[in-house]
């Protein structure tokens, strides 16, 4: 039975019910088929989405803007400087004002609290397009892509290899545990590379309920053993450019290469949220292999985010 998501903000996958997750997937599938067949699907005719970007983007901006256009609405771009979010005007005041003009806000920013506060003080749906803590739209897309390729999610094993403390690792912990997938995070030793303890605890609680497993390890070979999906991300996220050289030394043993992927299942999927630094976190022989679904994954950002916008707006 469908549940109403109208007016709901999407801050974290952890906040979604399993029914809401699959409702997003079902609508994304329908909207993808309509787009491929050229059938109009203007579910948000006349609606207005404010898109706030404190962090620049390729996939996020274009997929949301194209998505709103195809749904019959308009996406309005604002960079962090043009609206002075939390600087010349408080976030609470900005949220109240924008709620009078817009039907929804998508924000891509550094500080997760900005998204939380927009949702707290605004009266329209807020969609988290990325923060330093979480990247929920990407991981909902990843799960949708896995479902397309494998026809099932529950019982599969996904292994993430990289920085355990970044937004991708956190949202993969939230998302995989929510749908009953085993999730392993392979990350270097050291507290600065470990996942957020609260997110790990939430994932373990979800996994216990679903009968799945959550594992954190520093051993890449053991981590990817029998994996159905191998996932990686850049070693230095946006804002960490000054640490890139040092991080490259730390993360080099975790490179996803031909030797490592041999320990996964033969039909494993390789995933990356892009952009990828080829030759660093992943080699060309893996990202360009028949196992790689990175461009299907990138395309699906459009379909999944259209579903999210249609459901909440």
C-alpha torsion angle, residues 149, 152, 155, 161 (rounded to 10) = 30
**With 80 as the cut, is the pLDDT of residue 285 above it?**
yes
Which stretch of 10-24, 68-82, 258-272, 284-298 has the lowest confidence by average pLDDT? Answer: 68-82
pLDDT of residue 1: 56
**Confidence label for 240 from pLDDT (cuts 50, 70 and 90):** confident
Which stretch of 27-36, 87-96, 121-130, 202-211 has the lowest confidence by average pLDDT? Answer: 87-96
CA 253 to chain centroid: 25
Mean pLDDT of the chain: 96
Beta pairing, strands 157-161 & 126-130: unpaired
Give the single-character DSSP code of 20.
H
Kindly state the average pLDDT of the residues 4-27: 98
Domains of the chain: 13-135+300-312 (3.40.50.1370), 138-297 (3.40.50.1370)
**Confidence label for 241 from pLDDT (cuts 50, 70 and 90):** confident
pLDDT of residue 290: 98
pLDDT of residue 291: 98
**With 80 as the cut, is the pLDDT of residue 191 above it?**
yes
Residue 23's alpha-carbon distances to 28, 75, 162, 248, 310, in angstroms, are 8, 23, 30, 40, 11
Kindly state the average pLDDT of the residues 248-275: 98
**With 60 as the cut, is the pLDDT of residue 312 above it?**
yes
**With 90 as the cut, is the pLDDT of residue 80 above it?**
no
**Confidence label for 2 from pLDDT (cuts 50, 70 and 90):** confident
Catalytic residue numbers, as ranges: 108, 135, 138, 233, 273, 301
Kindly state the average pLDDT of the residues 220-230: 98
170-190: per-residue pLDDT in tens?
A: 999 999 999 999 999 999 999
pLDDT of residue 185: 98
Number of helices (H), then strands (E), in the chain: 13, 9
Between 115 and 2, the higher pLDDT residue: 115
Nearest to 220 by CA among 192, 262, 191, 190: 262
């Amino acid at each position: 039975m469908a549940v109403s998501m109208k007016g709901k903000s999407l801050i974290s996958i952890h906040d979604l019910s399993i029914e809401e997750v699959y409702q997003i997937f079902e609508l994304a599938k329908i909207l993808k088929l309509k787009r491929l067949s050229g059938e109009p699907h203007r579910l948000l005719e006349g609606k207005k989405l404010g898109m706030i970007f404190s962090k620049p983007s390729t996939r996020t901006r274009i997929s949301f803007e194209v998505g709103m256009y195809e749904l019959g609405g308009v996406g309005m771009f604002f960079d962090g400087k043009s609206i002075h979010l939390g600087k010349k005007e408080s976030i609470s005041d900005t949220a109240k004002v924008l709620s009078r003009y817009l039907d929804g806000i998508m924000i891509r920013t550094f500080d997760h609290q900005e998204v939380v506060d927009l949702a707290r003080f605004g009266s329209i749906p807020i969609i988290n397009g990325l923060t330093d803590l979480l990247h929920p739209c990407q991981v909902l897309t990843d799960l949708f892509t896995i479902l397309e390729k494998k026809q099932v999610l529950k019982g599969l094993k996904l292994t993430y290899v990289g920085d355990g403390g970044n937004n991708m690792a956190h949202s993969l912990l939230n998302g995989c545990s929510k749908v009953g997938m085993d999730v392993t995070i392979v990350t270097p030793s050291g507290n600065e590379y470990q996942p957020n303890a609260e997110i790990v605890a939430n994932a373990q609680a979800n996994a216990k309920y679903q009968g799945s497993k959550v594992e954190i390890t520093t051993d890449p070979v053991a981590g990817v053993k029998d994996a159905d999906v191998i996932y990686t991300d850049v070693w230095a996220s946006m804002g960490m450019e000054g640490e890139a050289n040092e991080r490259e030394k730390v993360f080099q043993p975790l490179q996803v290469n031909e030797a490592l992927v041999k320990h996964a299942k033969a039909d494993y999927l390789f995933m990356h949220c892009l952009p990828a630094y080829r030759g660093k976190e992943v080699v060309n022989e893996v990202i360009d292999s028949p196992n790689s679904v990175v461009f299907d994954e990138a395309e699906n950002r459009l379909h999944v985010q259209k579903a999210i916008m249609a459901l909440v707006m």
